[in-house]
Structure 1
Amino acid sequence: MTSDETAGTSSGASAVPETASAVILPGRRRGFEARLEQGTLVLKTPAFRRRIPIACIERMESAGSGGRSFTVVLTAPRTIRPTSWTVHGRSAPAVRAFTEALRRKLPVRDSTEPRADGSLLVTETPVAKPPADRRRTAARVAVTLYLLAAAAMLSAGVLGAYEWYVALMCWLFGSLAIPLRHFVYGGWHFVRETWRLRTHGVLVEGRRLYADAYEFTDLEGRVHQLTGTSEYTAQVEILHDPEGRAEAQVGRGTTGTLVFAVLVLLVSLVTATALAVLALAGPLGASQVFSLAP
């Protein structure tokens, strides 16, 4: 069975299909990028997003040396100066691929036909700043404090407050506390998701797609996929959260999983606490030595 195709294309039509994926050009600086969407060139900065219809672009010009920049010139009447913007990319090959894709979409114009002011159709919208990630900030503060404590322990060992290898051992034990913190958070997340499925989960039937992947439909008719399972039957029962706050699982049983998750969380807490105590033993011992010194 073959699909029907149009016999020909109209004159001046673009050879790029309208359903093609957006082409993205990362900017030279963080927060800057150019996107080539369906009929629109989007120039994004940290402050705003500028949408330029491709029909308003007169031509493109190379800017600077190295081939990592280009200028977009808009259409304009002969009596006024055209509006233009310069785009800076990270690499010359990426800029070349992006400009070639954009050039294929530009309309073909007669040099004698009148031009409208393309800047009148350009829209700019402010970019909403994402909220501050408190967890990332807390992690950075914790790592900074840990590095300062490690520096204090090593300095005390070098100055003779106690043997240097004691400080090194405490620092190595403390280094394990950072990945263990993520282990503790992962255990808590595991417990929370399992409890969420136990109390709010909905049981549906899933159909096998391939190997370890299954497909199921929620109560609102949305289709989902569940991968990474160990089942190989044609149909299975899948327990999922309608609000999407927990990952779905094969089977309706949650008691064993919840017990295992609680054990993982408890072991993580005990281990992290023990290593934190060992990490603090170095500077506390050093302070006692200094206090007993004559």
Structure 2
Amino acid sequence: MTSTETSSPILHGRRGASIRLRDGVVLLAADGVQRRIPVAAIERIDVHGPKGRRLAVVLTGEEPVAYHLRCRSAPAVHEFAQAVQRALPVRDTDEPRPDGAGLVTEEPLERAAPNRVRQLWWALGGVYVLVLVLLVVTGAGVVPVLLWVAAPEAIGGGGFGVHIGWKLVREAWGMRTRGITVEGRLQRSHWYNSVEQYTYAYVDNQGEQRELTTSGGGAERAEITYDPADPGTAQVGRGTTGWLVFGLVLILLLGPLLLAGVWCAVVGVAALGGIER
């Protein structure tokens, strides 16, 4: 049976602005302030602008106040307008209207903490582009420029492989030396990307109920091995040799690629500094 109810719509505009309908209240977040606009304070919803991408929430009152938000998706704007329109109270033409602006409440929005990881990536990207431009402008030569261009791919690919390999080695070694094996019960199964996944439930040595979802298994009961120092690390069965070897192979194969990328970056910086190689 399919429900005719739809989820509450949300619109996102420029500079982090957003508007949503929740429990008979329109919540408008913009310019560091969240406004709570009851549907009783809304006279109508207008859609205008190029291709119908601009929304206007017009309040009741002798001198109507309107709040505007522009969204890239015209269908989303129309869908939101229709949802709010359905939530508006039915009024007679001559029915007195309240002062909509007086019903609106405002509260400051909490500023989100800066994303340090994103800031770091932007800083690294800026440094990379700056060095590349300086290499070209100062005529450092074709070879240093090509090596500097190749450095991110080598460092990225090699670093990712080494990271995954080290993670596999660390987790496999932890289960190999500290692992506890318990019996898990099959709870459910589902298909994901054409692969059947099985979820087993078990209780760890601290008495906490845990679940493990894996593509290996299928039996009603299975042995689950987990690391008590890191209970989130678990697997069906006790074998860890395969994961340990696979992790070491990744490190051995992609570690040289990481070192080559670092060497390319060093050559580029050395050329920029005029260091003879």
Normalising by structure 2, report the TM-score: 0.71
Instruction: Give the superposed CA RMSD.
Output: 4.1
CA distance, structure 2, for counterparts of residue 128 and residue 201 of structure 1: 44
The alignment-based identity, stated in percent, is: 34
* Partner AA of 1:50 in structure 2: R
CA contact (8 A) 2:226 2:235 kept: yes
Aligned to 1:213: 197
The answer to whether residue 148 in structure 2 is matched with residue 171 in structure 1 is yes
Aligned to 2:219: 233
Displacement of 1:46: 5.0
Name the count of aligned residue pairs.
265
Aligned to 2:115: 133
CA distance, structure 2, for counterparts of residue 254 and residue 51 of structure 1: 55
Q: Which residues in structure 2 correspond to 1:138-157 (within 5 Å)?
A: 138-155=120-137
Change in CA separation of 1:55 and 1:236 when aligned onto 2, cut-off 3 Å: farther
CA distance, structure 2, for counterparts of residue 242 and residue 55 of structure 1: 56
Change in CA separation of 1:285 and 1:111 when aligned onto 2, cut-off 3 Å: closer
CA deviation map 1:172-196 (0-9, x unaligned): 5413223433444444555666678
Aligned to 1:57: 42
CA contact (8 A) 1:181 1:272 kept: yes
The answer to whether residue 5 in structure 2 is matched with residue 33 in structure 1 is no
| Partner secondary structure for residue 116 of structure 1 | coil
CA deviation map 1:174-219 (0-9, x unaligned): 1322343344444455566667878698964333423422234576
CA distance, structure 2, for counterparts of residue 47 and residue 231 of structure 1: 51
Change in CA separation of 1:249 and 1:60 when aligned onto 2, cut-off 3 Å: same
CA deviation map 1:56-103 (0-9, x unaligned): 322223454542223222344xxx534432232224332222212221
Displacement of 1:276: 0.9
CA distance, structure 1, for counterparts of residue 213 and residue 9 of structure 2: 29
CA contact (8 A) 2:10 2:21 kept: yes
Higher strand share: 2
CA contact (8 A) 1:62 1:71 kept: yes
Aligned to 1:271: 257
- Ranked by relative contact order (alpha carbons within 8 Å, sequence separation 6 or more), the top structure is 2
Q: Which residues in structure 2 correspond to 1:74-153 (within 5 Å)?
A: 74-76=59-61, 80-153=62-135
CA distance, structure 2, for counterparts of residue 121 and residue 201 of structure 1: 60
| Partner secondary structure for residue 114 of structure 1 | coil
Gap regions ≥5 residues in structure 1: 3-14
CA distance, structure 1, for counterparts of residue 74 and residue 126 of structure 2: 38
Aligned to 1:6: none
* Partner AA of 1:132 in structure 2: P
* Partner AA of 1:40 in structure 2: V
Aligned to 2:54: 69
* Partner AA of 2:112 in structure 1: P
Change in CA separation of 1:30 and 1:246 when aligned onto 2, cut-off 3 Å: farther
CA distance, structure 2, for counterparts of residue 255 and residue 103 of structure 1: 62
Which segment is superposed worse, 246-255 or 269-278?
246-255
Gap regions ≥5 residues in structure 2: none
| Partner secondary structure for residue 30 of structure 1 | helix
CA contact (8 A) 2:225 2:235 kept: yes
Aligned to 1:5: none
